[in-house]
Amino acid sequence: MDTELQNKLDKLHDVEIGYKRTLGKGPAAVLAGIGFLMTFFHVYVLLFRAIDPWIFRSIHILFGSALLFALIPGWKKAPRDRIHPVDYIFFACLCISVVYILWNLEDVIFRMGVDPTGWDILFSIIFTVVVLEMVRRTTGWALVITAVVAILYGSFGQYLPGFLTHRGYNISRLFTYIASLDGIMSVPIQASATYVFIFVIFGAFLDASGASMFFVDFAKSVAGGYRGGPGKVSIVSSAMIGTVSGSSVANVVVDGVFNIPMMKASGFQSTVAGAVEAMNSTAGQIVPPVMGTAAFIMAEILGISYAKVCIAAIIPAALYYVAAYFMIDFYAAKNGLKGVPRHELPRFWRLIGEKGYLLIPLILLIICLMVFQMSPFRGVMWATIALVALSWLKKESRLTIGKIWTALSVGPQSAIEIVATCAAAGIIIGVISLTGLGGKFAMIIITYSAGNLLLSLFFTMCITIILGMGLPTTAAYAISASMLTPALIKLGVAPIASHLFVFYFACLSAITPPVAVAAYAAAAIAKARAWNVGWAATMFASAGFIIPFMFAYGKELLLIGGPVAIGMATITSIFGVILLSAAVQGWCIRLGNLSYFERALMLAGSLLLMKPGWVTDVIGVAIVVAIYFWKAIYKKRGSSALAPG
């Protein structure tokens, strides 16, 4: 990797996840011990002895803050080789606040947000300020500013006009409510502590075994040799890595370093290479079974099993990746791009024979979640045990005592951004809940759309993308879902469809200009303009902007309904996204280049096929058949007859 690229990635890293310290052996050993205790605490509570949610969630935040303040300096010129006294002060403040809450827990749970004492107010404010500092260090200012605006709204909203006004809340009630189970320690941090953390540890075991590198080689062997192969490699590897990482930016940085140079070498333009990687890495979060972090929050909000969320997400995710495949394929065909020579790629069966056993833990995880309906924690536990056992089949993947210790002790450091993000999202959710802003947004959407579902969905999409600009997907989804899904549910959209609708656009906000963080990451690697990469990624991911509308109208795409209806909706939608890819790229199989008029007709046909219902399917098929006869028969003959002599 050249110096210029490394500098760009360093700058990106500074913005997205902060600077990270490199400490000496002594402090590093202490942090490893804290990380191991954090892992042990979660395993003990989740597997052997459940404890009060106040205790569990507050200690989860406390562990995360210890690692965060030790590893992430608060400013650029802060020391990188030692912990600054300011970091100790922040951690001590949080410790005191947590100890106070837990020491007086029996009384605090009845006073917070209702009739707090002076000490309750003081420590609630301290707790909130420290959480804001945590998220500032990990994700930057966007979420901090959003949270501060929410707090100001809770304090002074009574002076605002129209639907935004509320009764007003004084500092004592507002901050103690924020610091309760309805705010910082609400659903997002519950999902982080109960589900997400253990998946982070599973990811650490995968990295230690070399499975992540195997995923990249596996993707190369599967798709690398086909037309536009390097772009298709990105589809497979991003889906496999992104579903575990839970971060579109992290996926771009990890996966794009390999895929983007390979795409450029095979003839992809720099802008397109970055766009394809951003598109695929963003979609990694919509792929079951892990689906980043937001899926756990979704299951908690809906009060359904996590497996049901995953099952509902299967067909939409498949449609997205079918569209992505044909977007890349048609682009490659139109521009005469070929795949990577076979002799430069890993051989599939040889790779499966040598390292295929590393896929078994992921398959086992899916079986545990989908077939046996296990809790996510138990499913990951069995998958991790299987990974450790199978890793001993080969020396290079063997998880020795040292590697296991590293996964258990250093792995929790990867969770600090999630802990901070979920805690900060809880501040906003607390204000929304206290002021009733979510219900007001629902009323506004219904009023301004005049009850029209299409307009309501469009307004919801726009608001979600705007709220998601610069925010991690988890925060964007949690905030948007609390405000926007009630309107869709009132208009008759199934609850799970409403939440998945918001979730999709929370993910896609990472590639939507002007603040497209995943596109910025890909642009740094591709050496292209971030603005151009963002718009190109939006174009390539256009199916992702349409699919949520389709399952909002037809729940068959969420596997709800009879098998015949589900089968027909799936088949026609697959053809619909393929035709959408042709319309966007201006090229189609057997038809070649398409004129703008033909692309417009193709787009109309694709949308009709994607919408569930036999009437729209028939019209869509008729349009496509008409285009075929026009392009393949009439137009060719007419051109021949009218050609100049």
- pLDDT score at 245: 58
DSSP 593: E
- Beta carbons within 8 Å of 85's beta carbon, 6+ residues apart: none
Helix (H) or strand (E) holding 592: strand 592-593
- pLDDT score at 247: 66
Residue 640: pLDDT over 70 = no
- Beta carbons within 8 Å of 335's beta carbon, 6+ residues apart: 267
C-beta neighbour count of 67 within 10 angstroms = 21
Is 130:144 a contact under the CB 8 Å cutoff?
no
Rounded to whole angstroms, how far apart are CA atoms 435 and 411? Answer: 38
**Residue 403 binned pLDDT confidence (cut-offs 50, 70, 90):** very high
Q: How many residues does the chain have?
A: 645
Summary mean pLDDT of the chain: 86
More confident residue, 46 or 471: 46
Rounded to whole angstroms, how far apart are CA atoms 103 and 100? Answer: 5
DSSP 605: H
Strand partners, 593: 587
- pLDDT score at 628: 83
- pLDDT score at 212: 76
More confident residue, 168 or 42: 42
- pLDDT score at 535: 92
- pLDDT score at 478: 86
- pLDDT score at 149: 94
- pLDDT score at 34: 96
**Residue 282 binned pLDDT confidence (cut-offs 50, 70, 90):** confident
Indicate the SS3 state at residue 249.
Answer: helix
pLDDT in tens, 533-583: 999 999 999 999 999 999 998 889 999 888 998 999 999 999 999 999 999
- pLDDT score at 225: 83
**Residue 290 binned pLDDT confidence (cut-offs 50, 70, 90):** low
- pLDDT score at 174: 95
Angular region, 433: left φ>0, alpha ψ -120 to 50, beta rest: alpha
C-beta neighbour count of 569 within 10 angstroms = 26
Per-residue pLDDT, averaged over 406-431, amounts to: 91
Q: 355: buried, middle or exposed (CB in 10 Å: 19+, 13-18, 0-12)?
A: buried
Helix (H), strand (E), coil (C) string for 38-68: HHHHHHHHHHCCCCCHHHHHHHHHHHHHHHH
- pLDDT score at 180: 93
More confident residue, 40 or 246: 40
pLDDT in tens, 182-239: 999 998 899 889 888 888 898 889 889 988 788 888 888 888 888 888 888 888 887 7
- pLDDT score at 244: 59
Per-residue pLDDT, averaged over 499-509, amounts to: 92
Indicate the SS3 state at residue 587.
Answer: strand
pTM of the model as a whole: 0.83
Residue 470: pLDDT over 80 = no
- pLDDT score at 276: 92
DSSP readout, 615-635? HHHHHHHHHHHHHHHIIIIIH
Residue 241: pLDDT over 60 = yes
pLDDT in tens, 8-60: 444 444 434 445 788 888 999 999 999 999 999 999 999 888 899 999 999 99
**Residue 242 binned pLDDT confidence (cut-offs 50, 70, 90):** low
More confident residue, 194 or 641: 194
pLDDT in tens, 582-600: 999 999 877 788 888 889 9
Q: Which amino acid is at 143?
A: L
- pLDDT score at 641: 39
More confident residue, 421 or 294: 421
**Residue 635 binned pLDDT confidence (cut-offs 50, 70, 90):** low
DSSP 345: S
- Burial of 461-482, coded b for 16+ CB within 10 Å and e otherwise, reads bebbbebbbbbbbbbbbbbbbb
DSSP readout, 411-472? GGGGGHHHHHHHHHHHHHHHHHHHHTHHHHHHHHHHHHTTT-HHHHHHHHHHHHHHHHTTS-
